[in-house]
Structure 1
Amino acid sequence: MEEFVGGLWDKLITRTAYRGFPKARVELKDMEKIAPVFFRALGGDAGLNIRSGTATTHGGRRSWMERVAGIGEKTELAWTDDTTLHLPASIDLYPEQALNRELYLWLIALAAHDVAPDEAWIVRNQQAARATLEALPGMQGRYSRLVEAELARRIVPAKLPKDEADAEQAIRDALFNPGSVTEFTPGQRAPFPVPLWLHPEPPQAQGERRKAGHAEPQQPEGGKVTKDEEARKRSAENVDMPKPDSPFVLLFRAESLFSWAEYVKVNRSLDEDDNDDAAQAANDLDVLSVANDGKTTASRIRFDLDLPAEADDDHVLADGILLPEWDYRKRQLQPAHCRLQMLLARDAQACDLPVELRPTARHLRSQFQALVSQRARLRAQASGSDLDLDACVRFAAEKASGMPTAEPGLYIDSRKQQRDLSCLLLADLSLSTDAWINNDARVIDVIRDSMMLFGEALGATGDRFALYGFSSVRRENVRCHLLKGFDERYGSEVRGRLAAMKPGFYTRMGAAIRHSAAILSKQKSSRKLLLILTDGKPNDLDKYEGRYGIEDTRVAVQEARRMGLTPFCVTIDDKAGEYLPHLFGANGYVVVRDAQTLPKVLPGLYVQLTGEG
């Protein structure tokens, strides 16, 4: 009974003390479609993702009701780092939903015009605000409404001690007239947070970095990961493991029984149960302390992911192919940075098309055979079976205007066109493809079926095509699997190689694209299509994570375009919208929402990309 009454009291006091407006709340997920486009359209760094950050302790004054309820200590502000623009997970500061939405747009615009990131907090935000308003005069009205609403919720300077009142007045002046305040002296207490500005001290990793030789566990691809619904990024520090064998360490303290911050030893290799309170605990902590005891699941998986012995590995066709890699921090291409080897499946045996794929394959072959004999209508010809009305009208108008012009081609002719194109399909064979789709099939199985049907379809057209797969284990071991070369006929032997495909390691996509582009560029065709089939973003065990891998892949795609190729990505990653527009452009990729439809989608996509049908 006491617990029930206590719960009711907690809800009542918390609801009464809360200063926000839940009914007018706008969540970041409601802005996820417009936010990246808006940010990049305003000139923001195209390499940054947008996701929610974490609430941090602000140290400002709270009302006595907030203190009684134990709320209001933390606030969510916006900030940027090397890879991400962090925005509040939700905003309900103002009574009007439109204003809360306008605050999201203002913070995105402010981050895009952060012109002086090294200046002091108040100077930096004033310069960013002024740059935003100068570049986007149409936002002046929105900004004025936000400032008015923000000042209405702030503590009036007259109710503060002298030093805090002076600091609050400086903030108000800076909001009213960005650029007018050049010096800022905080009071004894930190000022009340300013949600219209970027974070004064963004959360960063704290503590000592891991010492050389101290292995850092990696999250393996395809491993079981509990989904963070808010996708927050939290501040963390590396610490040493506590040593309970010390006689001077107390293993139990009654007064800390209900503290989230106590160290708890959890054997994650055995305990895979979801903890409903884990997210709440993480949100309550300012800094997450992470220790490595050398016994983690990831450590064992790293051992399991070592390269196979030479006797058990695929045949090596070529070894030591050196490729460059782009370092976005140094802004330079590192020559001969990666080593690639060409492999051919050792245990592949010639086989027929699986029975379950044969009906679809027959349908695709009949469709693609029609492309071979289809006739094209050529306009502006000197002779033909029909008049080209557009050409006739233009010629008549030019002649009537007195412009001297030679008679152009005024006819339409119908001729059989020879298809002159080559396509290389590059498939991601990383360990993440070992994941299951609705407990029906693995991703690798869907990719295998897709490539088989793709080969059946293109075999009917006579188009030149090649099939390759790739995975990697650091930069010294980029593995490229030959499935079908341009000079090979698609048949039972190629099907055998496809049937022998298995999940590999990690995804060093830049090196794989560069090597594939070099192979495709040697073809004599006038059109060259490079199709990349993947289920996730670039990553590897070394520093090829996050933005480093994304920027290297982006440069590799640009290099392929300069070679006259057409790179296009097909992905089943539902988070692809966060990074693929930066890699391939708005029209350079497609997301297949249902992975099991990929075998039918891929051939149809090829028809669209090659401009036929």
Structure 2
Amino acid sequence: MEEWVGGLWHKYITRKANPEFDDARVNFDQVSKSVSMVFRALGGDVVKRVEAATGREYLTRKSFLQKISGDNQLVSLAWQDEESLRLPESLAVFNEKALNYDLYIWLAVLAAHHSGSFRHWAKDNQALVVAVLEKFPALHNRYRRLAKAFVDMRPSLDQMPAVERTMEQSIRDAILIPGSVNEFPVVNFAPQAVYLWLYPSASSDDVLMADIDEDELSDENEDQDGEKKSAKKAQSSRKKAERVDSDDSRGGMMIFRLESLFSWSEFSKMDRGKDDSDEDEEDYQSTIDDLDKITLTKKQEHQKSGQIKIDLDLPSASEDDIPLGEGIKLPEWNYKTQTLQEDRCLLQPMLPRDATPTKLPVKLQKTARMIQAQFEQLRSVKYWLKAQPQGEELDLNAWLDFHVESKTAATAEKGLFQSYRGNNRDLSCLLLADLSMSTDSHLDNDNRVIDVVQDSLLLFGEALQSVGDNFAMYGFSSVKRSNIRFTMLKNFNEKYNDHVRGRIQAITPGFYTRMGAAIRQATKVISEQKTADKLLLILTDGKPNDIDHYEGRFGIEDTHQAINEAKRLGIKPFCITIDVDAQEYLPYLFGNDGFTQILRPAQLPLRLPQLYHQLTSQ
């Protein structure tokens, strides 16, 4: 009985303490397409993902009801970094859905005109609002409506301490009349969340490292050359250092300044004195660059400890696919420096192990015959060339025109014959299939993605064999930049036969999707063909990714650069994907007419040959 009453009380007091309007709530999923279109149309970075932001702890003064209810609600705010624009998971700031929807659009407009970094949070937001309203005068009415409604929802000034009242009044003035406030007081608590403004990202701007005595950080007998090398690395990215005691206590009060919004950090007792020697030093440096603050302690307890290393296990050499050669070094694009880094990746050509010659599965034979009949039409299409100087038959229309003209005036003899010509398909196609671990996922109770990919490759081979086109098929996956697996299923010099069918049926899900390197190697292979037209088909179920900082924009930009390199060589790249989020990144990679999205993956085996037919029948 006590628990039941307590549960009712908790629901009641939590609902009373919550200042949001649940009936007018608008979720990010409802507006994601609209805000993405607005963000990019008004100049936002086309590569950035637009997604929901996770909640943050936000140190603000609580109301009496919030204290009673024990409310510790995380606040979802709008911010962006180099990778993505994050907007609140949902908005229920206003009591009207239309206003909450307009707020999402307004935040997308602001983000499209802001780099993501702040010198003074409130002043920079004011300047940003002023700049946006000057550039888009039509937004004045929308902003005034949002600003007035937002200020009306703010807590009463009468119940605040004097200093916080001054801060709150300054924020209200800055919202109602952007650019009118130049000074903001320092207070012990952050103001109530300002949903009309953008917030700093989780990665704050670089700050200078605090001075720390050398004898506290290194041994007095350390080699001076080693110190110089360490100092040289530190120059590229300076960090804030924080010295803490090694106990678990936490305390003190944080002073809030608008020019440097605080972020929460927690000290964790971890010995960083020893790292695995087999890891890439560049990866460590990149991890250090991602840290906002480096925390150090003088007090260390020297205890025996076990090391746990978690990584994706690679198969043993006896169980793995068969490597071909020592590997191929390939470059990779670094979008931050806008340079192509030579010999950064190592690609290993491979053959599927335990692949034995196999016939086409019975379940595909009927579909294969239907597709082959369609493709035979491409081979058998023939046409007459008219008015030729020589040919198999007389062109009666040309002869009649010449006869009539010659009766009236002197007329030079034109071509009087017609020639029967066959359809000459002078093209090569390379199909590059994504074999990453995501292809191990199930589509239904019976089929996985990899099963659908295998069926698609088999039917694709049957179709192109029937028309006689020159083609090759490869698969790819990766584990970091030093292990990019390039699986040969059929090269251009092989015939499509039971050996190739066996390799296709022997493929298994791999690892990650380092797409840029695979496209570069596929480009090199197909560029060696002597045909007039070259088509590079890429079959995938997701975006480029890997575990060594190839996530997000790095992978997207490297793949984009690899595709442009292929286009400059006269190769036509085209992507077929079953990824439901493909519209977020494929238009940037391939262009609006350079890809197709198959929403029902089970249809891929039939759709792939049809797409090839459409792309090459012209």
TM-score by length of 1: 0.76
Q: Does 2:528 align with 1:515?
A: no
Counterpart of 2:168?
168
Aligned residue among 463, 466, 472 for 2:469: 463
Q: Does 2:587 align with 1:581?
A: yes
| Alpha carbons 1:77, 1:199 under 8 Å: kept | yes
| Alpha carbons 1:318, 1:342 under 8 Å: kept | yes
Q: Does 2:369 align with 1:355?
A: no
**Quick one: structure 1 residues 112 and 378, their matched pair in 2 at CA, closer, same or farther if it must change by over 3 Å?**
farther
Counterpart of 2:257?
none
Task: Give how far 1:165 is off.
Answer: 2.3
Q: Could you tell me how far apart the structure 1 residues matched to 2:293 and 2:106 are?
A: 31
- SS of 1:547's equivalent? helix
How does 1:84-95 map onto structure 2 within 5 Å? 84-95=84-95
Task: Give how far 1:79 is off.
Answer: 0.7
| Alpha carbons 2:80, 2:201 under 8 Å: kept | no
Counterpart of 2:348?
341
- SS of 1:57's equivalent? coil
**Quick one: structure 1 residues 147 and 480, their matched pair in 2 at CA, closer, same or farther if it must change by over 3 Å?**
same
Q: Could you tell me how far apart the structure 1 residues matched to 2:595 and 2:264 are?
A: 34
- Greater CA deviation, 138-147 or 14-23? 14-23
Q: Does 2:560 align with 1:539?
A: no
**Quick one: structure 1 residues 115 and 504, their matched pair in 2 at CA, closer, same or farther if it must change by over 3 Å?**
closer
Gaps of 5+ in 2: 204-262, 280-290, 389-394, 398-418
Q: Could you tell me how far apart the structure 1 residues matched to 2:533 and 2:110 are?
A: 43
**Quick one: structure 1 residues 127 and 559, their matched pair in 2 at CA, closer, same or farther if it must change by over 3 Å?**
farther
How does 1:79-478 map onto structure 2 within 5 Å? 79-115=79-115, 117-200=117-200, 202=202, 206=265, 211=272, 214=275, 299=310, 302=312, 304-305=313-314, 308-309=316-317, 311-374=318-381, 417-478=423-484
| Alpha carbons 2:117, 2:200 under 8 Å: kept | no
What code does the residue aligned with 2:593 have? N
Task: Give how far 1:356 is off.
Answer: 0.6
Task: Give how far 1:129 is off.
Answer: 1.6
| Alpha carbons 1:205, 1:237 under 8 Å: kept | no
**Quick one: structure 1 residues 429 and 61, their matched pair in 2 at CA, closer, same or farther if it must change by over 3 Å?**
same
**Quick one: structure 1 residues 317 and 189, their matched pair in 2 at CA, closer, same or farther if it must change by over 3 Å?**
closer
* Alignment deviations for residues 439-472 of structure 1 (CA, whole Å, 9 cap, x no partner): 3122222111100001111112222211011122
- SS of 1:33's equivalent? helix
- SS of 2:195's equivalent? coil
- SS of 2:50's equivalent? strand
What code does the residue aligned with 2:337 have? K
Q: Could you tell me how far apart the structure 1 residues matched to 2:420 and 2:183 are?
A: 76
Task: Give how far 1:549 is off.
Answer: 1.9
Task: Give how far 1:202 is off.
Answer: 3.8
Counterpart of 1:48?
48
* Alignment deviations for residues 212-269 of structure 1 (CA, whole Å, 9 cap, x no partner): 76479x9xxxxxxxxxxxxxxxx999999xxxx99xxxxxxxxxxxxxxxxxxxxxxx
- SS of 2:326's equivalent? strand
Task: Give how far 1:99 is off.
Answer: 0.7
Counterpart of 1:60?
60
* Alignment deviations for residues 182-237 of structure 1 (CA, whole Å, 9 cap, x no partner): 33223343222100111257477955798476479x9xxxxxxxxxxxxxxxx999
Q: Could you tell me how far apart the structure 2 residues matched to 1:576 and 1:293 are?
A: 43
| Alpha carbons 2:57, 2:264 under 8 Å: kept | no
Paired-residue identity, %:
47
Q: Could you tell me how far apart the structure 2 residues matched to 1:125 and 1:415 are?
A: 69
Counterpart of 1:286?
none
Q: Could you tell me how far apart the structure 2 residues matched to 1:586 and 1:482 are?
A: 30
- SS of 2:19's equivalent? coil
| Alpha carbons 1:478, 1:508 under 8 Å: kept | yes
Q: Does 2:16 align with 1:11?
A: no
Q: RMSD of the alignment, in Å?
A: 3.4
Q: Could you tell me how far apart the structure 2 residues matched to 1:456 and 1:106 are?
A: 53
- Greater CA deviation, 324-333 or 436-445? 436-445
**Quick one: structure 1 residues 181 and 597, their matched pair in 2 at CA, closer, same or farther if it must change by over 3 Å?**
same
Q: Could you tell me how far apart the structure 2 residues matched to 1:370 and 1:116 are?
A: 56
- SS of 1:333's equivalent? strand
Q: Could you tell me how far apart the structure 2 residues matched to 1:491 and 1:239 are?
A: 62
Aligned residue among 479, 491, 512 for 2:485: 479
- SS of 1:514's equivalent? helix
Q: Does 2:609 align with 1:567?
A: no
Counterpart of 2:494?
488
- Greater CA deviation, 357-366 or 36-45? 36-45
Q: Could you tell me how far apart the structure 2 residues matched to 1:571 and 1:600 are?
A: 14
Q: Could you tell me how far apart the structure 2 residues matched to 1:433 and 1:215 are?
A: 31
| Alpha carbons 1:115, 1:131 under 8 Å: kept | no
Q: Could you tell me how far apart the structure 1 residues matched to 2:264 and 2:508 are?
A: 37
Q: Could you tell me how far apart the structure 1 residues matched to 2:396 and 2:18 are?
A: 78
| Alpha carbons 2:43, 2:112 under 8 Å: kept | yes
Counterpart of 2:230?
none
| Alpha carbons 1:319, 1:340 under 8 Å: kept | no
Structure whose CA Rg is larger:
2
- SS of 1:339's equivalent? strand
* Alignment deviations for residues 109-157 of structure 1 (CA, whole Å, 9 cap, x no partner): 1111115723210122122222322333322221111101101101344
| Alpha carbons 1:535, 1:571 under 8 Å: kept | yes
Gaps of 5+ in 1: 219-234, 247-291, 387-412
